[in-house]
Structure 1
Amino acid sequence: MTLPLLLTILVFGVLPGSHSTVTTVGDLAVLEGQSVTVPCHYNPQYISNVKYWCHGRMIDFCSSLARTDDPKSTPQSKGRVTIADDPTQHVFTVSMQNLTVEDSGWYWCGVELGGMWVADSTASLYISVIQGMSVVSSMVSADEGRSVSVQCRYSKNLRSSEKRWCRSGNWNSCVSTDSEGTFSSRNVLIHDDKNSLFTVTLMQLEMRDSGWYWCGAGQQHVAVHVAVTPQATTEATTEVTTSPIQNLKTTIMTSSIMSSNDPHSRPVWESPLMVGGVVLLVMTAFLAVWKLRKQCKKKQKHQRTNEMNDNITMCPWREGDYKNASVIFLNTPAQQLQML
């Protein structure tokens, strides 16, 4: 192996990040006085290795702020930095409290690999500590008639400033906290914790309250959008839709029952008097037919015995009898002569 190639391997072997197996988040911006937590992920083979967090532009000259092997051995952190390793997830986390503008700069997640010719595995990010304001959520929503809260964060230099809540585009709508850090009205309530956060609560929301607002402190402000949604009307619509149908069914059933119990509303053929009359008429017709048939039979008997004189006998009871009816002429003097 040639000497230049060997030197190249040695140089790249000791460069920071040449064996990088650690990853972290991108650059961060944090309000002054706030806290930040940074996750540092590493490969499983480095579970037992020491992890550390340091501050500086270059890894070789950075100031150690926290180590997993001796968290209390870093007086530069002044108790504001903590580090914790989670071997099961292969990640260690670093938390920094009460940040100041002076804390802005480059930071490094590091895993000690050991050895004079082997560089530690590291990952860097830049943290900007700024003065100003931010909101926990820039888009909030609530139903009409209900309440919604907006949390506004501010930096350390704004702690003594009054806090404001305004509707965007209407400076006359602004309301401010008093010396106690509070404001109260029928629809707006503001409470300042005097440290880093004030909360605005909008009550009894109406549809016209939808729009852009901003919370401010000193010369800083940040925009928030409030969306008011109509109240749920599904149940009310269902009741309005089904109620008339139910009433209609009830009315129809009631009318049917009343009609069946009202004697004046019955059809003519259901009247007891009419039924009785029909039955009587049928019985009368039956008796008349029966009597007529009996008389017919009696007359036929008299015809057979020749007791009728010069009479025409016709009994139209049945169609066959009517067709077979005959005319008999009786000559009484002739009969008497024959008998002599």
Structure 2
Amino acid sequence: MDLSLTVTTMFYILLFRTVTSSSLAKLPLMVIRAGEGETVTIECPHAQKTGPVSWCKVYSREVCNVIVHTEKEDSSGRISMRRVNGSVFVTSQLQKNDTGTYWCGTIQANKIHVSDIVMLDVFTADSRILNRTTVKGVMGNATTIHCRYKAQFKAYWKFLCKVVSVNSCSIIATPHDYNSSKLSISGNKVNNFAITIRHTDEGDVGEYWCGARTPVDFEISQVQTVMFKGTITKPGAPSNKASGTPQIWHIILPLVLGLLVVITIVLLVKKRKQSQTIPRESK
């Protein structure tokens, strides 16, 4: 889904009155978290394959400052935007004040068509640690992740994302908009909500972030690490416990038999040599 936004000659973007906040809520989202001084590369996966694409920082519902685009780097050279095999990437050496919400999109006829929203959190040594919780479940069963929020985030849109790389977290569900037969959502969706993952498998193991956002601001409130006990056994396949012992003996038994054969041959040869050396008695 694209949003049409007008652009002024000073490279500031104004939101059309016809665009609602619910439309912004449905655009593709990505959360990036990295340390000050790190260099990160962020993809705009839904950007158009050809033509110029812009990267702007959101300052209000109606103002977004264009920082860089695919045709030119920023004045400092700290941020660049390029297209590789049709995909668009933004590379930035991070500073603390880079924290914020960004739009990736194309500018045409003084309008920008937003394709992706990126929430970038640049942390320092003091802000690195987040509230962490471990969720333990049983592989194959349902597992529930609980997200809780302070009163100050009551009016924010809530979300849950799954970490897909060191710095990147992909949003998998929000209380009001999700599309997955594997997930179910409960809770009051204001101060808390719960995501239940049905029929868990190896792909569900990992780190999840509970977050809240507005078109401009966002907050990562909790980090949930999901761990499972047990493994999934395919129907008809023996379990590890049942098949472990025979597999060991399939190796040991031939070795033992081979050793016994060697010992037997050595003893027979030795006995034969001894019998040949014994002198016969004279008549």
**What TM-score results when the alignment is normalised by the length of structure 2?**
0.39
Higher RCO (CA-CA < 8 Å; seq separation 6+): 2
TM-score by length of 1: 0.33
User: Of the two, which has the highest radius of gyration?
Assistant: 1
Structure 1 or 2: larger helix share? 1
Of Structure 1 and Structure 2, the greater strand share is in 2
